[in-house]
Amino acid sequence: MTQTPTAPVPTGLADPVAGTPRVRGHRRGRVASYIALTKPRIIELLLVTTLPSMILAAKGLPDWQLVVATMIGGTLAAGSANALNCYVDRDIDALMRRTGHRPLARHDVSPQGALVFGVILGVVSIAVMGLVANWLSALLTAVAIAFYVVVYTMLLKRRTSQNIVWGGAAGCMPVLIGWSAVTGSLAWPAAVLFAVVFFWTPPHFWALAIRYREDYSNAGVPMLPVVASPVRVAREIVVYTWLTVAASLALVPATGWVYGVLAAAAAVPLLASAHRLLRVTARGGKAKPMQLFHLSNSYLAFVFVAVAVDVLCSS
């Protein structure tokens, strides 16, 4: 995802293979490292939840300029939170296989550089949301960044096995930001969308934590799979998966039958995967949590796309 930058050389010193100054490759490597700090793949999923929320709030297509500004502001905000998370967690990231490639763990970026970069992205994102959308959206953006960095990363992550349950609320904020950007207020459908992501986060992340249990254990992070038995983890995954499905179906009164059918259909493989994990774990078999992890990604994207499809079909 990142590349190790070559040592700086005087401008004009040509690369013997490419025939171009190697300093350009060094600069590209630095840029790539800073981009990697923002965790682009996580941002993609956050944006997938934002646009459908805006479409539902507008009961159709919102103004395209507002959409673009909200997406840019959301991208910068998520990038800020992720970069600051990398700054705070740079010590444990270096101890884990899953995160050992990150720029700070590889010393591709200095801690000070990451901190300044994250703060600048955050300030710009809040300004964009306030000046182009409204100040409620800007406030929610600031809360989302602060919650992820301070509440989750600094206060909960290393102290409690419920870290991802409560800390995961930061990942739910894009639906509120998207809704408020359109309406200037909040309403119950936005709260239901928030609940969908809130209940979805624990089974999604615990599936990943099962796979990287040794990583978290070595780093001293008390993720639930580190401190609880495999059966208990699987049971809680099943409970939160059912809560996710229930929350998704609670949105039907604000949408329509198209969404209801699609959401119900998407729930079947997700529930089946969660129950399969519990069944295999209870029998002492070798669980395959990454199947649930990847399926949960697809599920969340599908449900939110279904929201947009339903609204656009009926508008």
Residues 129-178: tens digit of each pLDDT:
999 999 999 999 999 999 999 999 999 999 999 999 999 999 999 999 99
Centroid of chain to Cα 101: 18
Residue 5 pLDDT exceeds 50: no
Range of the domain at 265: 37-314
Q: Count how many residues are written for the chain.
A: 315
| Sign of the alpha-carbon dihedral angle for 309, 141, 171, 243 | negative
Chain-centroid distance of CA 155 in Å reads 19
Helices 64-88 and 40-58, axial angle in degrees (round to 10): 150
Structure tokens at 136: 């409620």
* Structural domains of the chain, count: 1
Confidence at residue 26, expressed as pLDDT on a 0 to 100 scale: 61
Where is pLDDT greater, at 265 or 1? 265
CATH of the domain at 236: 1.10.357.140
In a domain, 31, yes or no: no
* pLDDT level of residue 71 (50, 70, 90 thresholds): very high
Closest CA to 156 of 168, 139, 144, 141: 168
Whether 76 is in a domain gets the answer: yes
- Per the domain annotation, does 188 fall within a domain? yes
pLDDT digits (tens, 9 = 90+) for 266-299: 999 999 999 999 999 999 888 899 999 999 999 9
What is the per-residue pLDDT across 14-61, written as a single tens digit (0 to 9) for each?
333 334 444 445 667 889 999 999 998 888 878 899 999 999 999 999
Strand partners for 14: 21
| Model confidence at 9: pLDDT above 60 | no
Q: In 3D, which of 185, 181, 164, 191 has the Cα closest to residue 254?
A: 191
Residue 138 belongs to some domain of the structure? yes
12 lies in some domain: no
Residue 199 inside a domain? The answer is: yes
Tokens representing 117? 């970069």
| 293 located within any domain | yes
Q: What's at 96, amino acid-wise?
A: M
Cβ-count burial of 315 within 10 angstroms (0-12 exposed, 13-18 middle, 19+ buried)?
exposed
How confident is the model at residue 212, as a pLDDT?
A: 94
Greater pLDDT, 65 or 25: 65
Q: Please answer whether residues 97 and 212 qualify as being in contact, where contact means their C-beta atoms are separated by less than 8 angstroms.
A: yes
Contacts of residue 121, Cβ cutoff 8 Å, sequence gap at least 6: 38, 76, 77, 79, 80, 83
d(Cα 119, Cα 114) in Å, to the nearest integer?
Answer: 9
Q: Enumerate the H helices of 250-288 as residue ranges.
A: 257-282
Nearest Cα neighbor of 300 from 105, 42, 1, 5 is 42
CB 121 within 8 A of CB 79: yes
* Residue 132 placed within a domain: yes
- pLDDT tens, 197-211? 999 999 999 999 999
pLDDT at position 286, please? 86
Closest CA to 270 of 178, 204, 174, 181: 204
pLDDT of residue 44: 82
- CA-to-CA distance for 290 and 205, rounded, in angstroms? 10
User: Does position 11 have pLDDT exceeding 70, yes or no?
Assistant: no
CA dist 62 and 312 (Å) reads: 11
Residues of the chain above pLDDT 70, percent: 91
What pLDDT is stored for residue 41 in this prediction? 82
- 139: tokens are 């406030």
User: Which value, in Å, is the radius of gyration of the alpha carbons in the chain?
Assistant: 21
Backbone angles phi, psi at 86, to 5 degrees: -65, -35
**Which pLDDT value is given to residue 7?**
36
Distance of alpha carbon 111 from alpha carbon 103, whole angstroms: 10
pTM given for the model: 0.88
pLDDT at res. 17: 35
